[in-house]
Amino acid sequence: MSRALLEVNNLKTYYAIDKGGLFKKETRYVKAVDGVSFRIREGEVFGLVGESGCGKSTTGRSILRLTDPTDGEVLFQGKNLVTLPEKEMQRVRRDLQIIFQDPFASLNPKMTIGQILEEPMIVHGIKEKAERKKRLGELLEAVGLHPSHANRYAHEFSGGQRQRVGIARALVLRPKLIIADEPVSALDVSVQAQVINLMQSLQQQYKLTYLFIAHDLSVVRHICNRIGVMYLGRIVEQGDCEKLYENPKHPYTQALLSAVPVPDPNWQRERIILHGDVPSPINPPVGCAFHPRCPYAMDICKTERPEFREVENGHQVACHLM
Ligand code: SF4
């Protein structure tokens, strides 16, 4: 687990919300992703967490070019996906797959599960029908379904089973990296653990690397090796999962973690309540974007953006307190 499979450098994804024109001087942008950098090593699970609207899903979609990045670099096996011609990008997508949050919305209701799983194989040139059928049966069994389920439609399954189909579809081309975009947040709590356990065992079986996007920190702890915490389009803390859970450094990470239930009733974290809403990404606060909500904000936080600093081996934080 040493070579970087994916390297994201200073990725930016901005959406223009109105154009500058005759009477307007400048175009305004929603800065959904504003300078995100991280690396994922082969065989690793990297978690990207933060509140809704922090830019974590847009980061995942920008990596796959499902939305166009504005700037930055996404190096996958040495190729910069941001500038890759579309035709070559289609070939790379075979190695890069996504699991969507809402399994029902992402499965075509008019197609059987077999047709849904065969479609990417046909698009990517697996011509032999027997080979497709064989792979289909193997995959359905691998995700805990029966090969006969191939003849059914998505509405005939429960939410957990549909997400198993979503996982099978992501695996069908034997990818190297899977971007799992909130893969369990639409599921009942009782089913979430089953799907996480399944993803963990498939990771071993198929030697997968995951980018695991979630808003719930208690979910990512069980599956991730490292975590990046995002706030308003930027990563504010990143490091080894256990270290970050046991000793979070950034005040925002501390607040997020204080809301996670602890299994030991004799040891509870003090809950940190964040006041105010997440500021608008159209007009983010100057300096540290977290300063209007931070209980430790100082004068410098209102004017200077904190640099990302290494506070211990492999643990980086963007905060003037460090
Ligand atoms: Fe809080 Fe300042 Fe650190 Fe931002 S830089 S998290 S405002 S202490």
Expressed in angstroms and rounded, the spacing between residue 282 Cα and the centre of ligand 1 is 20
pLDDT tens string for the chain (322 positions)? Answer: 568 999 999 999 999 887 666 666 677 889 999 999 999 999 999 999 998 889 999 999 999 999 999 999 999 988 999 999 999 998 999 999 999 988 778 889 999 999 999 999 998 888 889 999 999 999 999 999 999 999 999 999 998 999 999 999 999 999 999 999 999 888 888 888 889 999 999 999 999 999 999 988 888 888 999 999 999 999 999 999 999 998 999 999 999 988 776 666 666 667 787 777 778 888 889 999 999 999 999 999 999 999 999 999 889 999 999 9
Residue from 250, 294, 304, 316 whose mutation best tests the ligand 1 pocket (most atoms within 8 A of CB):
294
Q: Yes or no: say if 227 and 49 are a contact pair by the CB < 8 Å rule.
A: yes
Closest residue to atom 7 of ligand 1, CA basis: 291
CA contacts within 13 A on the Cβ side of 119: 11
Q: Yes or no: say if 118 and 136 are a contact pair by the CB < 8 Å rule.
A: yes
Expressed in angstroms and rounded, the spacing between residue 322 Cα and the centre of ligand 1 is 9
Residue 157, ligand 1, Cβ within 6 A? no
Q: Yes or no: say if 213 and 42 are a contact pair by the CB < 8 Å rule.
A: no
Residue 322, ligand 1, Cβ within 6 A? no
DSSP code of residue 270: P
Closest atom of ligand 1 to 291 CA is: 7
Residue 296, ligand 1, Cβ within 6 A? yes
Smallest CA-to-CA distance from 36 within 20, 22, 19, 57 is with 57
Closest atom of ligand 1 to 250 CA is: 6
Residue 288, ligand 1, Cβ within 6 A? yes
pLDDT at position 290, please? 95
pLDDT at position 268, please? 64
Residue boundaries of the structural domains of the chain? 4-95+173-318
pLDDT at position 101, please? 85
Provide the pairing of β-strand 209-214 with 45-49.
Answer: parallel
State pTM to two decimals. Answer: 0.91
Sign of the torsion angle spanned by Cα atoms 181, 185, 187, 189: positive
Expressed in angstroms and rounded, the spacing between residue 201 Cα and the centre of ligand 1 is 39
Expressed in angstroms and rounded, the spacing between residue 289 Cα and the centre of ligand 1 is 8
pLDDT at position 62, please? 97
Closest atom of ligand 1 to 322 CA is: 3
d(CA 41, CA 7) in angstroms, rounded, equals 9
* Residues β-bridged to residue 99: 180
Residue 232, ligand 1, Cβ within 6 A? no
Residue 206, ligand 1, Cβ within 6 A? no
Residue type, 317: V
Residue 297, ligand 1, Cβ within 6 A? yes
pLDDT at position 267, please? 62
Q: 4-95+173-318 maps to which CATH number?
A: 3.40.50.300
